[in-house]
Chains A and B, each alone.
Chain A
Amino acid sequence: MNPRIVLGVIGSDCHSVGNKILEGVFSRAGFEVINLGVMVSQDEFIDAAIETAAKAILVSSLYGHGELDCAGLRERCVERGLDNIIIYVGGNLVVGKTDFATVREKFENMGYDRVFSADCDLSEVILLLTNDLKLDKNE
């Protein structure tokens, strides 16, 4: 049974190419990808995760305004019954040049399990996700 993950580009962001690449890469790595496309709201991520009983939500943000769109997602998940779902976020998360460690800390404080930059190695992401899901199953 392939693990299910919800994927999408959050907020008013309509960059779609990266999203298509991610769908392909994760599918080939053996995940069942529920790709919501672009301009996805927090509730849409959660709606899809509930109906499909997905184990993880992968949020992309490329236009630099991700911080505003991403804030509150973990709380919303808790409210809507997905307390411990794994949430990853990746992309160009802030405007301008900021030291990535600062960005990572900011988003981890918001409740994201892992934070990735736009030039991350996807095979690394896949490895981490596979491990996180295994641990999740063992809990």
Chain B
Amino acid sequence: MNKSARWLISVDIGSTFTKGALFSEEQEQGLILVKRASTPTTEENLSTGFNILLADLRQFLPSGAINPIIEVSSSAKGGLGICAIGIVPDLTLKMARNVAFSAGAKILSVHSYKLSCKDIFDIKAKNPDIILFTGGTDGGNEFHVRHNARALSNLQLDVPIIFAGNQAMRDEVASILENKELVLTENILPEIDKANPEPARNTIREIFLSKIIHGKGLDDIVSITGTLPRPTPLAIFEFFKILPQYDSEWSDFCVVDIGGATTDVYSVSSEASMACDVIFKGLPEQSASRTVEGDLGLRISAETTAEALRNDPNTPYAARTIYAKDIDAYVRKVQTNKEFIAKEEAVQHFDSLLAAVCAKLALVRHCGIKEYVYTASGPVAVQKGKNLSSVSRIIGTGGFLSANKDFNLESLIVEIKENNSKSVLEYLVPDSSDYWIDNEYLAPLAANIFHHNPEAAVKFFISKITKA
């Protein structure tokens, strides 16, 4: 082996498995995957499993090798959970959700208009890692912000609160919440048509690093690695966001990640592909975005997924009738057994049916909608949300999609488009996409280390995914 510039170890601590990879960075060949390993996640103390994995990977370092850089991501212990507060559901509250998702978090609850005692009670019960408190454009709504600050002052929970709302209310909010851990940042929606997610995203990241790591038992790991961990979905989001910069063939794509508890969809689309001949309504869209569907998954969320499966008109007749009871029994079994891997064909088929519904619904929910409105001057197209119709590539990742090469994602897109043609609403999913599979489930591992050598990381990842 040539004398490599660096050795990198990438570790992703999932809720079930702690997975890792050892990379060597060569001058000419770029990143080379030397060894992969996996060990069950040790929830009581994450560093136990981490150390086992590290020892396993270290064995493959040649003697005399420079100390490797170790980067860690984690979605263990529920990942990063946020309760979001805003005013109008379609405006600041929706923006708050988007910001939380793009910061790699899971939304535990959303609260609009005035917080009631029940809202405060619910927030306490959810026990979030962070409260994202927004509302009002700058110089705008004060009434709801004041009321909600007062309500939050009664919350008996030791949790950081980020205020990312009406900046004219900063001083008053700071005063009302002076006994709380409050961080003030810029408004996520300073004007009705101006989205400003970055400052709040950065604040979420900083709080994760300074506070949450300790609570999740990751600080032992930090003292070993000397590097700062990140939530897994954030690492993945940041990686996909920069893909276009290093490979122009990947300027418009989306990613579907079906997990046990959630299905995540990421999309990256260049400005040009955001529709120009339609009237656009709603919040301004970001070119890179992530959505998370907490009711669509193959294990913990299997029950809600099965319900969606029953209600989907495209579900095969047999699955809705003859096998319905078998599917229900299967779902009940796997809901509490997140490590279950289907071995028998019949059961694997159930997983495929559930996965199909996860992928289809998650994509539909992520994409925007186009509606033709009949006006006195003829039909006019009105769009709400993101237009992904010109996206030409979809990557499938996550445990299930990486392992199931035969999964026919393209046929699901066809189903959605057929349903589109029968209704006045058009879901703006990709028109015709090539499906690429992340065969070795490398997305989180590549995502962790990309910032050390983005060009090599992108090249490496693209070389490993294959067209279905």
- Contacting pair B374 A51 (CB below 8 A): no
C-beta contact mask, B362-375 vs A, less than 8 Å → 1, else 0? 00000000000111
- Expressed in whole angstroms, the Cα–Cα distance for A87 and B387 within the complex equals 34
- Point out the residues of chain A lying under 8 angstroms from B92, CB to CB: 51
Query: Could you tell me the distance in whole angstroms from the C-beta of A62 to the nearest C-beta in chain B?
Result: 9
C-beta contact mask, B87-108 vs A, less than 8 Å → 1, else 0? 1101110000000000000000
Residues of A in contact with B, size category: 20 to 34
Tell whether A129 is near chain B: CB-to-CB under 8 Å: no
Tell whether A50 is near chain B: CB-to-CB under 8 Å: yes
Tell whether A12 is near chain B: CB-to-CB under 8 Å: yes
Contact partner of A51 (CB less than 8 A), chosen from B136, B281, B380, is: B136
Chief secondary structure at chain A's binding surface:
loop
Query: Could you tell me the distance in whole angstroms from the C-beta of A89 to the nearest C-beta in chain B?
Result: 18
- Point out the residues of chain B lying under 8 angstroms from A34, CB to CB: 191-192
- Expressed in whole angstroms, the Cα–Cα distance for A12 and B380 within the complex equals 9
- Contacting pair A64 B376 (CB below 8 A): yes
Tell whether A113 is near chain B: CB-to-CB under 8 Å: no
- Point out the residues of chain A lying under 8 angstroms from B373, CB to CB: 12, 39
- Point out the residues of chain B lying under 8 angstroms from A65, CB to CB: 376
Known contacts A34-B192, A39-B279; A47/B376 CB under 8 A: no
- Contacting pair B376 A51 (CB below 8 A): no
- Contacting pair B141 A48 (CB below 8 A): no
- Point out the residues of chain A lying under 8 angstroms from B135, CB to CB: 51
- Contacting pair A53 B140 (CB below 8 A): yes
- Point out the residues of chain A lying under 8 angstroms from B136, CB to CB: 51-53
Which B residues between 33 and 88 are near A, CB-CB below 8 angstroms?
Answer: 87-88
- Contacting pair A14 B91 (CB below 8 A): no
Query: Could you tell me the distance in whole angstroms from the C-beta of B186 to the nearest C-beta in chain A?
Result: 16
Query: Could you tell me the distance in whole angstroms from the C-beta of A125 to the nearest C-beta in chain B?
Result: 22
- Contacting pair B375 A50 (CB below 8 A): no
Q: How many residue pairs at the A-B interface have CB separations less than 8 Å?
A: 65
- Expressed in whole angstroms, the Cα–Cα distance for A95 and B143 within the complex equals 40
- Contacting pair B141 A52 (CB below 8 A): yes
- Point out the residues of chain A lying under 8 angstroms from B380, CB to CB: 12, 14, 39
Which A residues between 52 and 88 are near B, CB-CB below 8 angstroms?
Answer: 52-54, 63-65
- Contacting pair A13 B375 (CB below 8 A): yes
- Point out the residues of chain A lying under 8 angstroms from B281, CB to CB: 39, 44
Which A residues between 15 and 63 are near B, CB-CB below 8 angstroms?
Answer: 34, 36-39, 43-44, 47-48, 50-54, 63
- Expressed in whole angstroms, the Cα–Cα distance for A38 and B91 within the complex equals 18
In the complex, the chain A residue whose C-beta lies closest to that of B376 is A63
- Contacting pair B140 A51 (CB below 8 A): yes
Contact partner of B139 (CB less than 8 A), chosen from A1, A37, A38, A44, is: A1
- Contacting pair B375 A12 (CB below 8 A): yes
- Contacting pair B377 A14 (CB below 8 A): yes
- Contacting pair A50 B192 (CB below 8 A): no
- Contacting pair B374 A12 (CB below 8 A): yes
- Expressed in whole angstroms, the Cα–Cα distance for A4 and B138 within the complex equals 11
- Expressed in whole angstroms, the Cα–Cα distance for A53 and B88 within the complex equals 12
- Point out the residues of chain A lying under 8 angstroms from B189, CB to CB: 51
- Contacting pair A51 B192 (CB below 8 A): yes
- Contacting pair B376 A39 (CB below 8 A): no
Q: List 7 A-B contacts (CB under 8 A).
A: A38-B279, A39-B373, A44-B281, A47-B88, A52-B139, A53-B139, A53-B143
| Chain A to chain B: the 8 pairs with minimum beta-carbon distance, closest first | A52-B140, A12-B375, A53-B140, A47-B88, A63-B376, A53-B141, A52-B137, A51-B91
Taking Cβ atoms with an 8 Å cutoff, the residues of A that contact B are: 1, 4, 12-14, 34, 36-39, 43-44, 47-48, 50-54, 63-65
**Other than the known A51-B189, A52-B141, A65-B376, what 20 A-B pairs have Cβ atoms closer than 8 Å?**
A12-B376, A13-B375, A13-B376, A34-B191, A36-B192, A39-B281, A47-B91, A48-B192, A50-B87, A50-B141, A51-B88, A51-B91, A51-B92, A51-B135, A51-B136, A51-B140, A51-B192, A52-B137, A53-B139, A53-B142
